[in-house]
Structure formats: structure tokens, C-alpha cells
Chains A and B, each alone.
Chain A
Amino acid sequence: MKLSIPRFWRRRFDYYSIKITECLDCGRKSYPRRSICVYCKSRNVRTVTSAGVGEVVAYTLSYYRIEGEEENTPKIVALIRLDEGPIIIGEVVDVDKSEVREGLRVEGVLRKLKSEDPGGLIYYGFKFRPLIRDR
């Protein structure tokens, strides 16, 4: 058994939604959810759920081969600026590599991250696809 139930389960809300940190002192927002503000080090922070919509700031097409990730190679990895402000690193899916570009509007979508096939655990988490509906 390579995947861990408690390890994933305790962070399920971080994987099944996009949680960001909002600093109540300096006002900046950051990803991921933490108990401190990475910018001013304040502990006076709260967790906010992102709407999961943003745009691609930079992207790369990755052919880098990692054991266990063969099925998902090549993949598009991007820096995405969420509409709430913070930048997140995310995978862009459901798009031809010729169509991905800086400025592309994307939305979060729940996808499989890892699995222990056959019949094993599956981890799900957020990836990003081109925005297909208005919010």
C-alpha cells in the first residue's frame, strides 16, 4: 500500500477545494492554506475558499518521466493567478497543447491524481481546464 488514508483524509478539504490564506493584518492572500501569513508572518489569518477561477500566468509542457506518473505524461504545468489574487501551481487539462497560452482563463475541476490500480485507493484533487461556464 503506497497511498495513505489518514494522510490524505485529514487534508481532504485542501484537495477537494482550493483553500487560500487571507491575512487579516497585511491583507495579502496566499496559497496554500497555512496558519501564518507568508508575507508578514502574522498568525492573524483566516482560511478562504477560492472560487477556483483564474488565468494562466506561465506554463510548461512537461515530458519529464516519473515512476508512477507514466499515464499522465506529457502534461501541462502552469502558474495560475486565481481571481482572488494568489498564484497557485496547477496542471491544465482538457486542452490541446497548441491552445494553452498565457492569459487563458481556467477553472478548477476535480480529477484523479494518483491511484493504486487495480482496486486500490484513489487520490482526487484539483486540476484546471479552460473556463467553460460563466459564474
Chain B
Amino acid sequence: MTSKKVYIASTSMVRVGRYFTKSYKELAFDVVSELFGTSRLGDLNNLDYVIVSNVFSDSMLDQLDISAILAQELGLTPKPALRVETGESSGLTAIAQAYALIRAGLASSVLVIGVEKCSEYPTTVVNKHLTKLLDYEVESIYGFTLVNEVALLMKKYMREYGYSREDMSSWSVKMHSNAVKNPYAQLRFTVTKEQVVSSQVLSEPVRQFDSFPISDGAAAVLITSNENLIVGDDCLEVEAVYQATASQLNLRDELLELPATKHLLSKLLNKCKFDIGDAVMEVHDSYSILGYLVVEELGLARRGKAPETINDLNNVNLSGGLKARGHPIGATGVYQVAEVFKILTSGLGDVRRKAMWGLIHSMSALDVNSVGIVVRRCS
């Protein structure tokens, strides 16, 4: 079997935010229309598969089989469609599955749609659905949620490395300053360390400004092995894709490491030889402490040093990250891919880098189901 090259040929996004006047169908329609308008996809003949990434359709939209409903709504029938769900990493899993279909020769072009609509209900209801990211029978039934585990981790990190609460705020400050330049970001304003440390406590020491906002969003990516669908120089090749799972927090011997992320990064970086310091990266930072730990797993900072070095890192989360671009749960991984695509090609707004390599990382909860993808600019 010849090994097929897999390309990211086109991407589109709506600005992450709260769309009280639009449904998930309208958001998906907007991004798919833009993608059809700007790509060379033309009619449906060039499309083989539709993959929808969405986490809360049954919880918040009373909808199962959202991929069929969207295929109907967007005029994509009779193309095969399916939904993927791996918690918060669903979006990048969808991209990984598109890659797998193409590599297996079962499709030459796959449309990946990430869509999530969290603003339909008040925050307490969204929070209830977010508790489902943990194991219901042993964790959520007791009323525990991800932010509690994140708080335990953050406290341990601060104790271990001697950081104050204010020291830990540099991630949020950096992400907000990045988001100001991203036209698709939800929180396009700067914050100060003082604002972070005086924001509402979620689970001490974690505060509101350490956390992602509640977001709606939709993004679409065209993955293909068909070189005719590449527009000009706007093209990335997918070099490698890895995924990994890990045990929950209380079973880990090393609390301040991210086991699934560590596992997949070692495989990714073993396969693709490039200088990570020169790559453009989008990583999962649902909470600031997780951003620090990912940066340390990537080797961009030594263990315990990320809060001191993040301010100098100018190739990580140029979008603003989950913290400030926003976190439309099932759509987030698709956004990350679209952002790296734009940064390396025509620009994310004015944010553009000459780099050859990109790395996208996503995880669910405390790194229990994680995905990493390495991409390379075609020209």
C-alpha cells in the first residue's frame, strides 16, 4: 500500500462567543458555507465523509445523531456522517479520525465540523454537564468535578515549587494578551495579575480567570489527500497523529506530570524531527495549571519553571488558548487546527509566522484522553 499524504486544505471558524440568537445549526451552516466558498471543494462529488465533533448534543440540545441532522440541514446528504466524542479532546480526535479514514484509503476528502452550544443554559447547568467528564460512578456521583481535581493539582504545584497565587497568574495574562490579536477569540481584552487573583474563587486556589469561559462555537476543516483541492500556498501536511489515555488523578504516582500527554509527545517527537522552539503550537489549557504542565511536558520549560517562562514563549497559544479564545468543548480541537493553519499560511488576523512546523495538543479532563498532531507547511 502506498502511504498517502494527508493535507489540511481549508479551514473556517466563527468567532467564539455566546450566540443567543443563533442555533448550533446556524453556526455550523456559517462555517461550512465559508469553507465551501473558499475551498476548491465545489460540489459534493469531491467529499467522501463528514465527521462532527460535539460533546453535549444529548445533554444540552436534546439531540442524538447530530451528524445526520447536520447533514440534512447543511445539504450534505447522502454523504456518510458520524459524531465523535472523547470529552474535551473530541475536536482533535475528529481530525485524527479523518486522517485515519484517508490513510486507510476509505476516503480521500473528509469534512470535519466541530460545533458546541453551551450558552443555551445557565452556568450551573453547564457545570453539571461538565462533571460528566469524570467517572460518574466513582467521582461525579459524590459531587466532585474537574475543577476540584485541578485545584488539588495547582495547590500541589504551588507548594512543590514555592509559587504564590499571583505568580500563577502569568498564564492568564499572557493568553489574554494573545487573544486581543485573534479576531476569532471570545475574550479579546487584556487582564492584569491583580484581576486574576481577585476574580471569583471556583475551587481554591483556582479562580474564574484561571478557567475557560463558557463558549459557543463552530469550526470546519477540510482534510484531504486530493492535491487538486489545495488552494495556492495555503496547505499543511499532517505528519503524525497520536492519542493516549491515562488513569484518573488519585491513581497517579506523579501528580505533576501529564501521563497521556507525555506518552503521545514522546511518540510524536520521535517520529517528527523538528525544533520545537520554532514550531507554532496550540495546546490545551482549560485551566492555567494545565497550561503550565503541558508546556513542561513539551520541554519548553523545565519542571516547575513554566510560570516564570511563559511570558517569553511566543509560539504557544497565539490564539489566546482555551483561556481566552474560549472553549466550545467539542469544537475546540477543530479551532486549534484552524488557528495553526491560518497562522502558518494566510494569517490569523495579523498573526502570521514563517515557521514550517505546527503542533496541536488537546486533552480531556486531567489528561485522561489526549491527542497530539504534528503538521508541516507544504511550501
A60 touches B204 (CB 8 A): yes
User: Which one of A60, A64, A66 lies within 8 Å of B152 (CB-CB)?
Assistant: A60
A64 touches B203 (CB 8 A): yes
Q: A67-B124, A89-B148, A113-B143 are in contact. List 15 more A-B contacts (CB 8 A).
A: A31-B251, A38-B251, A60-B152, A60-B204, A61-B203, A62-B147, A62-B202, A63-B201, A63-B202, A65-B127, A66-B145, A67-B127, A72-B143, A89-B139, A113-B142
B203 touches A77 (CB 8 A): yes
- Give the number of residue pairs across the A-B interface with Cβ within 8 Å: 98
In the assembled complex, which residues on chain B have CB atoms less than 8 Å from the CB atom of A15? 141
How many chain A residues touch B (CB < 8 A): the figure is 36
Complex Cα distance, B155 from A79, in Å, reads 12
Map CB proximity to B onto A115-127 as digits: 1 under 8 Å, 0 otherwise: 0000000010101
User: Which one of A65, A88, A125 lies within 8 Å of B124 (CB-CB)?
Assistant: A65
Main secondary structure of the interface of A (DSSP, over half): strand
Complex Cα distance, B127 from A69, in Å, reads 11
A64 touches B141 (CB 8 A): no
B144 touches A89 (CB 8 A): yes
Interface residues of A in 20-62 (CB under 8 A from B): 30-32, 38, 58-62
In the assembled complex, which residues on chain A have CB atoms less than 8 Å from the CB atom of B104? none
Closest to B252 in A: A87
In the assembled complex, which residues on chain B have CB atoms less than 8 Å from the CB atom of A12? none
A79 touches B251 (CB 8 A): no
How many chain B residues touch A (CB < 8 A): the figure is 33
Q: Is A84 an interface residue (CB 8 A)?
A: no
A90 touches B142 (CB 8 A): yes
User: Please, could you name 16 A-B residue pairs with CB atoms under 8 Å apart, sorted by A?
Assistant: A32-B138, A60-B203, A62-B147, A62-B202, A63-B200, A63-B203, A64-B127, A64-B203, A65-B124, A66-B127, A66-B143, A77-B148, A79-B249, A79-B250, A89-B149, A90-B142
A125 touches B137 (CB 8 A): no
In the assembled complex, which residues on chain A have CB atoms less than 8 Å from the CB atom of B301? none
In the assembled complex, which residues on chain A have CB atoms less than 8 Å from the CB atom of B143? 66, 69, 72, 75, 91, 113-114
Complex Cα distance, B124 from A110, in Å, reads 26
Q: Is B309 an interface residue (CB 8 A)?
A: no
Main secondary structure of the interface of B (DSSP, over half): helix
A60 touches B148 (CB 8 A): yes
In the assembled complex, which residues on chain B have CB atoms less than 8 Å from the CB atom of A14? 137-138
Complex Cα distance, B249 from A31, in Å, reads 11
In the assembled complex, which residues on chain B have CB atoms less than 8 Å from the CB atom of A11? 137
Q: Is A68 an interface residue (CB 8 A)?
A: yes
Complex Cα distance, B214 from A65, in Å, reads 14
In the assembled complex, which residues on chain B have CB atoms less than 8 Å from the CB atom of A60? 148, 151-152, 155, 203-206
Given A79-B250, A87-B250, A61:B147 Cβ within 8 A: no
Closest to B130 in A: A66
Q: Is B247 an interface residue (CB 8 A)?
A: yes
Complex Cα distance, B250 from A61, in Å, reads 18
In the assembled complex, which residues on chain B have CB atoms less than 8 Å from the CB atom of A79? 152, 249-250
A59 touches B147 (CB 8 A): no
Q: How far is the CB of A77 from chain B (nearest CB, A)?
A: 4
User: Which one of B142, B206, B250 lies within 8 Å of A91 (CB-CB)?
Assistant: B142
Closest to A80 in B: B250
B203 touches A62 (CB 8 A): yes
In the assembled complex, which residues on chain A have CB atoms less than 8 Å from the CB atom of B139? 89
In the assembled complex, which residues on chain B have CB atoms less than 8 Å from the CB atom of A89? 139, 142, 144, 148-149, 249-250
Complex Cα distance, B123 from A18, in Å, reads 33
B152 touches A77 (CB 8 A): yes
Q: How far is the CB of A14 from chain B (nearest CB, A)?
A: 8
User: Which one of B145, B155, B156 lies within 8 Å of A64 (CB-CB)?
Assistant: B145
Complex Cα distance, B131 from A69, in Å, reads 11
- Which 3 pairs across A and B sit closest by C-beta, in order of nearness? A60-B151, A62-B203, A77-B148
Q: How far is the CB of B245 from chain A (nearest CB, A)?
A: 12
In the assembled complex, which residues on chain A have CB atoms less than 8 Å from the CB atom of B152? 58-60, 77-79
A125 touches B142 (CB 8 A): yes
Complex Cα distance, B156 from A113, in Å, reads 27
Complex Cα distance, B250 from A30, in Å, reads 9
In the assembled complex, which residues on chain B have CB atoms less than 8 Å from the CB atom of A58? 152, 155-156
In the assembled complex, which residues on chain B have CB atoms less than 8 Å from the CB atom of A67? 122, 124-125, 127-128
Given A30-B251, A60-B204, A62-B147, A125:B127 Cβ within 8 A: no
